[in-house]
Amino acid sequence: MRLLALILLVGAAAAVPRENGKIIGGQECEPHSRPWMASLNYGYHFCGAVLINEQWVLSVAHCWYNPYAMQIMLGEHNLRVFEGTEQLMKTQNIIWHPSYDYQTLDYDMMLIKLFHPVEITDYVKPIPLPTGCPYAGAPCSVSGWGNIATGEEVNMPARLQCLDVPILEDEKCEMAYPGMLTRRMVCAGYMDGGRDVCNGDSGSGLVCLGEVHGLVSWGQGCAVPGHPGVYAERHDARHDVTTRYRPIAKPENPFSNCLLDLSVIITSK
């Protein structure tokens, strides 16, 4: 699974975590067409996340916030209107990836356990974790509630925005961010700019072929030509995060190195 990870390099252009803002060049999503989409908030939306089963959501570690104050909203489309489909959840526990590096944002992911399971409805449903990695050019999409303006303008949409993005070849990704990528990162988007995710979309899912293959984490600027969004993908080893996690047996297929470290069955105890 490809999750975006931030890297700060001395003497090099710094990638910027995407905490407060935008899908650029997209459009309003069909209402409730992304039932796995979650909003992390503490009075206002600040990051995205994806529901992966009835009691766990997946986001990026740099979106961490005090679990006693952070809430998770699911079943949402318009943040400013009560639609009767929402489920507001409190946080019980947050687990960072054990290899997370806050300076580089390598392994930039965290699991959030909800205080109680969600009710599965047409508006709140988990999305499958990846069974393999998508090929370059694969059609993917990303969604978020960030700023839809460019430059210094601010236009925060109330309604969920969507953007279709293709997976880019590793060579193009390396050309865009020379020396700044790890084996767990991949680019998705457009080299000519104009369409991109940005601050505030962090944690939102990169969805390809009906599975979540990444989480928004970083990029140099927003919708800047030559600098597409970066997502993390290759997590080479699965691990037992806590006693409440049981790893899925590693599949014997050529895509196994592309699967998310945290592709786990989360068991309740």
pLDDT of residue 92: 95
* pLDDT of 180 above 70: yes
Cβ neighbors of 152 (< 8 A, separation 6 or more) are: none
Domain ranges of the chain: 35-114
Helix (H) or strand (E) holding 27: strand 27-28
For residue 149, report the phi and psi dihedrals to the nearest 5 degrees.
-95, 165
What is the percent of the chain where pLDDT is above 90?
Answer: 45
pLDDT band at 8; cut points 50, 70, 90: very low
pLDDT digits (tens, 9 = 90+) for 228-241: 998 877 443 333 23
Give SS3 for 180: coil
Distance of CA 213 to the CA centre of its chain: 9
pLDDT of residue 17: 56
Kindly state the average pLDDT of the residues 117-122.
98
Q: If you average pLDDT over each of 39-48, 64-73, 86-95, 155-164, which comes out highest? A: 86-95
Whether pLDDT at 21 is above 60: no
Tell me the C-alpha distance between 169 and 186, whole Å: 8
Lowest pLDDT segment from 59-68, 71-80, 254-263: 254-263
Mean pLDDT of 157-167: 92
For 170, other C-beta atoms within 10 Å of its C-beta total 14
pLDDT at position 149 is: 66
Token pair for 80 = 């400013």
Mean pLDDT on 15-29: 66
Query: What's the pLDDT tens digit per position in 200-214?
Result: 788 999 999 999 999
Distance CA 38, CA 59 (A): 9
Spatial separation of the C-alpha atoms in residues 49 and 217, rounded to whole Å = 11
Q: CB of 58 within 8 A of CB of 49?
A: yes
pLDDT (0 to 100) of residue 118: 98
User: Annotated catalytic sites, by residue?
Assistant: 62, 106, 202
Q: Does domain 35-114 have CATH number 1.10.260.40?
A: no
What is the predicted pLDDT for the residue at 73? 97
Could you give phi then psi for residue 173, rounded to 5 degrees?
Answer: -65, -45
Compute the mean pLDDT over every residue in the chain, rounded to the nearest whole number.
Answer: 79
